[in-house]
Amino acid sequence: MADLTLWLEATGALAGAGGLGYAKVRAPRVYWSLVGLPVTWGRFTLSYRSTMDVCGLTVQPSGLRAFMTRNVARREVQPVPPKIRRVRGTSTGLRVTLRLPAGLEPADLIATTERLRHAWGVHSVTVAETKPGYVELRMTGYDVLRRVRMPRKARPRDLVVPVALREDGTAFERDYRKAPMALTLGANHSGKSMYQRNLIKGLAQLPVALVGIDCKRGVEQSAYAPRLSALATTPDDSASLLAVLVAEMGDRFDLLKTHGVSDLWELPAGTRPVPVVVLVDEVAELFLISSRKDEERREQIVTALIRLSQMARAVGIYLEICGQRFGSDLGKGATMLRAQLTGRVVHRVNDKQTAEMGLADIAPDAVPVASLIPMERPGTAVAADSSGGWSKIRTPETSREEVAAVCRAFAHLIPDLPALKPFRPFVPAEVPAAGPSLVKPHPVTD
Ligand SMILES: Nc1ncnc2c1ncn2[C@@H]1O[C@H](COP(=O)(O)OP(=O)(O)OP(=O)(O)O)[C@@H](O)[C@H]1O
Ligand SMILES: [Mg+2]
């Protein structure tokens, strides 16, 4: 009997260990919640003081405190680390809010993240300033970008769309009110269209008009036709479509003038025109020309894009531009347009210059990070904006069919914009899926 119990216990223990090993590789989220989180939390609590001390993140206590320690508590005066205000476990890591003592700044912690990461045995540590005097240490227990799963709470709302996951486990959101115009760069097969696909999936659920410009004959965007208010698939169509958008911008400015306001969002809800997001897949197709006769068209397109990028924010027209490179080699107007695009997302690039085109003017320290994105991780990118902050992100793998289904489900949200009617893409009527016929055949002789 004792043998049997021992055998059962040993088999149980082995199966448990095997299961945990399997979970560690296959279901890191489960492994983290069951094993990683309690172990890391314990390690953090036990070694916090000594780790901060050896990392140079302590300060001498204030005069009064030192006096009380020496004379009342009769202890030796020791340097103090930042006070822990809150520790919170998440499904991807551990978040710790610290109150910084006088003499420490967030940059001091940022400089030691690599040492803290090793001290607590976590995958990554990032530091975010939550309010003056407070920072949040965001630790991740495993590589969250290996298989991306968006946080459950991340849902599209207002004009904010969660499109990717940040390295620290939080959602990267594209906020059109904060960064109205954006540029996405990346080499062939780096994940630009996947980024735009995720964006369309979120935008489709919001009350906005979606305008697609896909000069690769629409191979990417025509699947989303049920939710698009307009789609241009050739440079000629794009020129006409952009001219219509510029005219629409003019009309909207007239409307603002009539109401005596300077921004679309100040208009009363009933009269406010619906926001328009213009998604351009492969901008170079609009800039490059093969013959002299196309020059005029190029000029029209570039002028329209620059005008929209400079003024359209106030009337709720937003640009989302994708391209492989976007520098002066695209010709006149390219760098001027680029300067207007605040949000930047740079995927894997083939050369440092491309990373610099996207990031050098707003977040120069992110340039080497973008240049090091490995080929086997498509969808990984560096996202930055003009505030100087940047983060490493990766989009979730989303199929075109899934996004097309969302577009069909939200087709009723297509707003009524008469100016865009001529550009409305053709949507084939849904054919019922072929299946076995439910009609019983009757013999003709009956
Ligand atoms: N986040 C991701 N996770 C996994 N696979 C991805 C991800 N993003 C992209 N991929 C894969 O990488 C490949 C290229 O993606 P995508 O078509 O988006 O690249 P691209 O930059 O638009 O390329 P191109 O310049 O040729 O249009 C696709 O096969 C896609 O499935
Ligand atoms: Mg593409």
Q: 190 falls in which pLDDT band (50, 70, 90)?
A: very high
Query: Both 16 and 125 in a single domain?
Result: yes
> Ligand 2 mean position to 194 CA, how many Å?
7
298 plus 395 within the same structural domain:
yes
Does one domain contain both 118 and 193? Answer: no
Q: List strand residue ranges (DSSP E) for 11-56, in order.
A: none
How much is the pLDDT for 207?
94
Mean pLDDT confidence for 348-364: 89
* Residue range 218-237: mean pLDDT, rounded: 93
- CB contact burial 123-148 (16+ within 10 A = b; e otherwise): bbbbbbbeeeebbbbbbbbbebbeeb
Please report whether residue 155 resides in a domain.
Answer: no
How do residues 309-347 score in pLDDT, each as one tens digit? Answer: 999 999 999 999 999 988 888 888 889 999 999 999 999
> Domain for residue 244, yes or no?
yes
- Within this chain, do residues 136 and 174 fall inside the same structural domain, yes or no? no
Residue 442 lies in a domain: no
Amino acid letter, 249: M
Check whether 197 has a pLDDT greater than 80. yes
Q: Is residue 431 part of a domain?
A: no
Q: Tell me if 304 is assigned to some domain.
A: yes
83 in a known ligand binding site: no
pLDDT in tens, 28-77: 888 998 999 999 999 999 999 999 999 999 988 777 777 777 787 777 77
Is residue 39 situated within a structural domain? yes
Q: Whose atoms come closest to the Cα of 380: which ligand?
A: 1
- Same domain (yes/no): 68, 181: no
Asked if 128 and 222 sit in the same domain, the reply is: no
Range of the domain at 326: 160-423
Q: Do 334 and 214 sit in the same domain of this protein?
A: yes
CA of 275 to the centre of ligand 1 (A): 28
Q: Which of 107, 140, 173 is the last residue of a domain?
A: 140
Number of the ligand closest to the Cα of 378:
1
Does a structural domain hold residue 123?
Answer: yes
The confidence score (pLDDT) of residue 142 equals: 92
Q: Was 63 annotated as part of a binding site?
A: no
Closest ligand 1 atom number to CA of residue 186: 21
186 assigned to a ligand binding site? yes
350 annotated to a ligand binding site? no
User: Residues 222, 124: one domain?
Assistant: no
- Let me know: does 390 contact 382? Beta carbons within 8 Å: yes
Q: Considering its fold, how many domains does the chain have in total?
A: 2
User: Which ligand is nearest to the Cα of residue 149, counting in written order?
Assistant: 1
Reply yes or no on whether the pLDDT at 438 is more than 70.
Answer: no
Considering 86, 106, 140, which residue would you say is the last residue of a domain? 140
Same structural domain, 376 and 410: yes
Considering 140, 170, 194, which residue would you say is the last residue of a domain? Answer: 140
Residue identifier of the C-alpha nearest atom 29 of ligand 1: 189
Report whether pLDDT(289) > 90: no
CATH code, 361 = 3.40.50.300
Q: Which residues contact 347 (CB under 8 A, 6 or more apart)?
A: 184, 185, 186, 187, 190, 191, 192, 195, 370, 373, 378, 379, 380, 381
Residue 138 is encoded by which pair of tokens?
């965001």
